[in-house]
């Protein structure tokens, strides 16, 4: 256990223990919008190719939501033990970053957090196995990859987010993996155009994680969490953020060349909040209170892209 943790082994807040509020924080609906956006995009692509099975769509949503909660809960434990969550200064707290703080704020005990994580992983894995057995066997391998990324994002031996690999893992999971998985459950195969349209979404969700690492910069650096923002420094990382946004929309512009309908370009509506976020981050990369609106705009961009491009796919 790090020195940061050992010197602060009790919660830093007087928040009252509250199991329901703690679970709600772990569920974090605003962050779950990213996975819902991926599911929506994949489902729209599937609907363009044939009728949807609503029951299996509900099962898909429930399974992914359970894994999200499980990942957040297990991540709380590892980030608490590393000292990362404890090291975040009050002025660097943000609604979009800094963890869920259920242990730091005393909302949940460690045993409760472990229990929530274990139960939700079991529910998510159970739903995946049920879909694989009763509907589509191919979902088993996508599910294995998703659960592995969710757990190993924080946990040893890989600790992806501690080694500068978390950004790539998030872009892959919330782009091709979830989008293709949602399509696969409905259609029984994965189409190339679904993979291609999921790439800009993966980049935009990856950009959301990227900007969320700015308020956590000092705490991550102090606790040995070597995210790419920590490795690059906030000024250089703000320029990379702009490049990620630019790449996402450049790829979107190229999609009609791959035979996709031009209506997919409706996704460009997402460029409005994305560009605004990039400008704001470029100017205020070291001021958390100035970054928070840019964090919100980046999430809006990913959700808007999924909605607009998904609707565009329906008009083949």
Q: Which domain holds residue 12?
A: 3-313
Asked if 34 and 306 count as a contact pair (C-beta separation under 8 A), the reply is no
Q: What is the pLDDT of residue 30?
A: 83
Q: What is the pLDDT of residue 29?
A: 85
Phi–psi pair at 97, nearest 5 degrees = -145, 180
Q: At which residue do the structure tokens 């943790």 appear?
A: 5
CATH number for 24: 1.10.600
Q: What is the pLDDT of residue 316?
A: 65
DSSP annotation of 263 reads G
Beta bridge partners of 94: 97
Q: How many residues does the chain have?
A: 316
Count of beta carbons in the 10 Å neighbourhood of residue 192: 10
Looking at the predicted structure, is the pLDDT value of residue 116 above 70? yes
d(Cα 41, Cα 197) in Å, to the nearest integer? 8
d(Cα 92, Cα 98) in Å, to the nearest integer? 8
pTM: 0.93
Structure tokens at 88: 């975040």
Looking at the predicted structure, is the pLDDT value of residue 95 above 90? yes
d(Cα 16, Cα 105) in Å, to the nearest integer? 8
Asked if 25 and 246 count as a contact pair (C-beta separation under 8 A), the reply is no
Gap between the terminal Cα atoms of the chain? 55
Looking at the predicted structure, is the pLDDT value of residue 84 above 80? yes
In the chain, the number of structural domains is 1
Q: At which residue do the structure tokens 């709380």 appear?
A: 76
DSSP annotation of 8 reads T
Task: Report CA Rg, the chain.
Answer: 19
Looking at the predicted structure, is the pLDDT value of residue 16 above 90? no
CA distances from 162 to 59, 137, 169, 224, 255 (A): 32, 33, 12, 7, 34
Looking at the predicted structure, is the pLDDT value of residue 3 above 90? no
Looking at the predicted structure, is the pLDDT value of residue 14 above 70? no
Q: What is the pLDDT of residue 7?
A: 32
For residue 157, say if its preceding peptide bond is cis, omega within 30 degrees of 0: yes
- Summarised one tens digit per residue, pLDDT across range 134-193 is 999 999 999 999 999 999 999 999 999 999 999 999 999 999 999 999 999 999 999 999
Q: Lowest-confidence range among 15-24, 31-40, 179-188, 297-306?
A: 15-24
| Strand spans (E) along the chain | none
Q: What is the pLDDT of residue 12?
A: 46
d(Cα 77, Cα 43) in Å, to the nearest integer? 33
Structure tokens at 5: 């943790």
């Amino acid at each position: 256990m790090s020195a940061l943790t050992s010197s602060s082994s009790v919660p830093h807040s007087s928040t009252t223990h509250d199991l329901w509020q703690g679970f709600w924080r772990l569920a974090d609906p605003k962050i779950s919008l990213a996975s819902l956006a991926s599911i929506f995009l994949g489902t729209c692509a599937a609907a363009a190719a044939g009728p949807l099975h609503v029951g299996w769509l509900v099962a898909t949503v429930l399974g992914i939501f359970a894994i999200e909660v499980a990942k957040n809960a297990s991540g709380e434990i590892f980030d608490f033990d590393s000292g990362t969550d404890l090291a975040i200064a009050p002025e660097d707290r943000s609604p979009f970053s800094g963890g869920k703080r259920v242990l730091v704020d005393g909302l949940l005990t460690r045993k409760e957090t472990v229990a929530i994580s274990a139960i939700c992983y079991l529910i998510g894995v159970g739903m995946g196995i049920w879909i694989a057995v009763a509907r589509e066997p191919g979902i088993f391998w996508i599910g294995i990859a998703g659960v592995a990324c969710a757990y190993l994002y924080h946990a040893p031996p890989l600790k992806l987010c501690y080694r500068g690999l978390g950004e790539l893992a998030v872009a892959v999971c919330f782009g091709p993996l979830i989008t293709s998985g949602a399509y696969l459950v409905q259609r029984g195969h994965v189409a190339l155009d679904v993979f291609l349209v999921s790439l800009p979404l993966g980049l935009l969700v990856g950009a959301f994680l990227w900007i969320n690492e700015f308020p956590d910069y000092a705490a991550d650096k102090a606790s040995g969490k070597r995210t790419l923002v920590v490795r690059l420094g906030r000024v250089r990382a703000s320029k990379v953020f702009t490049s990620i946004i630019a790449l996402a929309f450049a790829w979107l512009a190229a999609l009609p060349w791959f035979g996709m309908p031009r209506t997919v370009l409706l996704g460009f509506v997402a460029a409005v909040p994305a560009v605004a976020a990039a400008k704001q981050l470029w100017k205020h990369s070291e001021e958390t209170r100035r970054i928070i609106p840019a964090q919100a705009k980046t999430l809006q961009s990913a959700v808007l892209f999924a909605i607009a491009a998904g609707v565009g796919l329906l008009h083949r």
